[in-house]
Amino acid sequence: MIRFLQTPGPALKTALGAILVFICVSMVVTLIPGGLGSELTGQPGKGVVARVAGTDITADQVRREAQQMVRQQVQQLGPNASMLMPYLMAQATPRAADNLISRQALMAEAERIGLRATPEEIKDDLQHGRYAATFFPGGNFVGQKQYEDMLSTASLTPAAFEEIVGKELVFNKLHDMVADTASVPESDIRQAFLRQNTKVKFEYALLKQDDLRKGLHPTEEELKAFYQSHLQAYTNSIPERRKAKYALVDTGKLQSAVQVTRDDEQAFYDSHRDAYRVPEQVKVSHILIKTPPPGADGKVDEKAVAAAQSRAADLLKQVKSGANFEELAKKNSEDPGSATQGGSLGWFGRGKMVPEFEKAAFSMAKGQISDLVKTGFGFHIIRVDDKQDPHLKPIDEVRDQIAPLVKQQKAQQMAQTLATQVRDEAKNKGLDAAAAAHGLTVVNSDFVARRDLLPGLGPAPQFMDALFLATDKTGVEVASASQGFVVYQLDGVKPQSTPSFDEIRTKVEDEFKNERSATLLSQKTQELSDRAKSEHDLKRAAKELGATVKTSDFVAPDGQVPDIGSMSGQASVAFGLKPGEISSPVNSGSNGAVLQLLETQAPPDSDYAAKRDQIRELLLQQKQQQMFGLYIDNLRERMEKSGKIKINQQEMKALSSTGNGVGM
């Protein structure tokens, strides 16, 4: 890690940027003097999107925030998402402005009520939080000079960076302060339990789109009319196609000629030391005696807490007196995941357990047993079974892993060098002659679309991107592919075009039948429901309309029913029906159905005890999110009314209109 970070250049900036850019973009809002309009009228000036409690949020900050949001989306969507860039930027820009305004409003409110992050808290977060692996690898500080050098690549001083970290801690404190007031009444937990675990059994009359489709026999006139009415959808529907001449320099074929020396392995090891660091770990067993959660009024039953503590203290006394820890854990621990294993939690590193538990576990020596440790779960008795200090694996231990990586890396370099040489030679004597001189096979493709597969390459998105950006003047070039490098030249272009009716008659007929059968399915399912309700007889209505009647098993809200699919979709209407009641139409993709409830089956109370805590935790998280969202809305409304938030609508409009043109 250290040697890598000491190597200047783009690789360092990219790596450190990936670590720091999110918090820098999302947490920093700099105090910037407004324009002339701001000074004279108190309103945000030119280039300022909003003023929040005296702090200006600039258009540049919004653009950077939007760019960061879009980069994250592009990473999730894959390489082809670049085509959506203008749309994604247009969507992200107003959200970015809204996010920055909300964040600064929250920071201003946190300051108003006196929330602070102490130097000790900031230091602890750097050492044990998200940046620990960067600045404290293996638990050891990289050193002040290295710390300053690393931050300077992101144009940050230690003071500025630690201020950012402090703001994040303050933000988290405010969030926790609001979220901690949330509580979940027992009635809500039980209702959610019943909603999630009640099962239903029903009859359903089924109509299938495929059956309706088979009965459709459109005339030629109907198909031509359909083609004309959907002409806009067919316009330019034949994509641009290109043909190419290319030769593949296969990295895999070059690997057999690659020799890996001990010096090669050592150089790779030295530049990737961080990958071979083993963090500090402990192997721990524990006995847990749970404490009761807060009641509906948010208060804790102190008598029950005292009883849990007394029981845990008695178990601790037995352990200290030499009782078998594993047997006590199996019989008494209320952590079902570890009790059956004699209390063993196995190995874990820092950041995996709640702070109180982690602090105790890492502060003890091997074989030591703790006093009672209280967490949000209850009282723990912790035993450290083993410890592992942070260390760097020696090269001999990882040499077998390194050799193939070095071999692949060297083969990649050889392939790139060869591809470049063939390209340069091809510019003088043509691709066929240059490829033949190096034993490479030239492929002449047919016209292909951007998503098509190519002979000898298969899926090659990077090469296809390069090919479809090439022009007649590009000449011979090199592009990457999964197998190595492709030396290619553009050999022809067919621009996108609109097909005639005759060219796509089969497609038109298929789409005509799909559209018409979907409409018929909707109409007939509605008629089926109406008849069944008016006649109070689902089977009779089904027989009249040619529907098939089936009966489900007992099924829960997260279950599946043949031909209907997930019960979490439209079929969830079954859980609101009374026995004998008939539903409205249920659309399940290519099928339509009408349901009649037969029976409801409530879950046993024994299941409630087993699932209560999990349901409560989920409901609590949802409620905390809702409360914090409502808190932000109320805070912004209050600050806007008092004039502490002033939004420059002209700048907002300008950003929205140019958002899709912002470069990445």
For the stretch 331-349, pLDDT in tens is: 999 988 789 899 999 888 8
Residue 20 predicted with pLDDT over 50: no
Residue 664 predicted with pLDDT over 70: no
Q: What is the mean pLDDT of the chain?
A: 86
User: pLDDT grade, residue 651 (50/70/90)?
Assistant: confident
Section 597-619 average pLDDT: 91
By CB atoms closer than 10 A (0-12, 13-18, 19+), residue 599 is exposed
Q: Which domains does the chain show, CATH number per domain?
A: 2-181+626-661 (1.10.4030), 199-216+503-601 (3.10.50), 241-270+395-494 (no CATH), 280-389 (3.10.50.40)
Residue 77 confidence (pLDDT): 66
For the stretch 451-492, pLDDT in tens is: 898 888 878 889 999 999 999 888 999 999 988 999 999 999
101 vs 142, residue with greater confidence:
101
CA neighbours within 13 Å on the CB side: how many for 625?
6
Residue 141 confidence (pLDDT): 85
| Dihedral, CA of residue 26, residue 32, residue 34 and residue 40, to nearest 10 | 130
CA distance 146 to 5: 8
Residue 657 confidence (pLDDT): 66
Residue 459 confidence (pLDDT): 85
Section 235-252 average pLDDT: 93
First and final C-alpha spacing in the chain: 29
HEC string for 275-325: HHEECCEEEEEEEEEECCCCCCCCCCCHHHHHHHHHHHHHHHHHHHCCCCH
Residue 8 confidence (pLDDT): 32
Residue 25 confidence (pLDDT): 41
Section 359-382 average pLDDT: 93
CA distance 406 to 19: 26
The residues, any chain, with a CB within 8 Å of residue 549's CB and separated by 6 or more, are 203, 204, 205, 206, 538, 539, 542
Residue 151 confidence (pLDDT): 87
User: pLDDT grade, residue 28 (50/70/90)?
Assistant: very low
Element (H, E) at 238: none
For the stretch 502-556, pLDDT in tens is: 999 999 999 999 999 999 999 999 999 999 999 999 999 999 999 999 999 999 9
CA distance 611 to 518: 42
Residue 15 predicted with pLDDT over 70: no
Residue 349 confidence (pLDDT): 86
Section 596-625 average pLDDT: 91
CA distance 153 to 522: 61
Of 47-51, 334-338, 496-500, 509-513, which range is least confident? 334-338
Residue 35 confidence (pLDDT): 37
Residue 292 confidence (pLDDT): 82
427 vs 656, residue with greater confidence:
427
Of 9-13, 91-95, 392-396, 418-422, which range is least confident? 9-13
Residue 36 confidence (pLDDT): 32
For residue 113, which of 55, 63, 173 has the smallest C-alpha distance? 173
For residue 661, which of 92, 85, 96, 78 has the smallest C-alpha distance? 85
Residue 84 confidence (pLDDT): 66
CA distance 426 to 486: 13
Residue 458 confidence (pLDDT): 79
Contact in structure between 343 and 285 (CB atoms under 8 Å)? yes
CA distance 145 to 143: 6
For the stretch 165-223, pLDDT in tens is: 999 998 888 888 888 888 889 999 999 999 999 999 999 999 999 999 999 999 999 99
User: pLDDT grade, residue 7 (50/70/90)?
Assistant: very low
Residue 659 predicted with pLDDT over 60: no
Section 373-402 average pLDDT: 91
User: pLDDT grade, residue 296 (50/70/90)?
Assistant: low
CA distance 260 to 262: 7
Section 623-642 average pLDDT: 91
